[in-house]
Amino acid sequence: MPEIRRTITNTFKDAQECEMFIIILKQKWSEFDGKLSDKFTVEIATDVADPCRHTAYLTAQSVEDFKIVDEWAKREVIPLRDKLAPKSNTFTCELYASFEFGGN
C-alpha cells in the first residue's frame, strides 16, 4: 500500500506569528496519544526564504492511521491555526515514486 502524505503550508502576517504557531505545533503534536497501527511521521520545516511561512509534512503508512490523525488534528490543531488566520494550502496524496541519491 502506498504512503499517504499531506503537505500543509501556512503563511502568516509576520515571522513572530509563524514562530508562535510552530511552538504551538511542537506542543500539540507531542501530546498526540492516538493508537496507530503503523509508523506516522510529522515534520515541520520553516521556509529559508520567507520567515512568515512554514510547512508541515505528514506521512502515514496506513489510510486508517491517517484518518485517526486527521480527526485529532481537526479537533486539536486546526482551530488554533484558524485563530491566527494564515493563508493556508493543503495537498493530500499517495506517494507515486521516490528517489534517493548519494550516500553509501
CA angle 79, 2, 30 (to 5 degrees): 35
- Predicted confidence at residue 1, as pLDDT, reads 67
Q: Do 26 and 57 form a contact (C-beta atoms < 8 A)?
A: no
Q: Do 14 and 62 form a contact (C-beta atoms < 8 A)?
A: no
CA end-to-end span of the chain? 27
| CA–CA gap between residue 62 and residue 39 (Å, rounded) | 8
| CA–CA gap between residue 50 and residue 73 (Å, rounded) | 25
- Predicted confidence at residue 103, as pLDDT, reads 82
Architecture of domain 4-94: 2-Layer Sandwich (3.30)
- Full pLDDT tens readout for the chain, 104 residues: 679 999 999 999 999 999 999 999 999 999 999 899 999 999 999 999 999 999 999 999 999 999 999 999 999 999 999 999 899 999 999 988 889 999 87
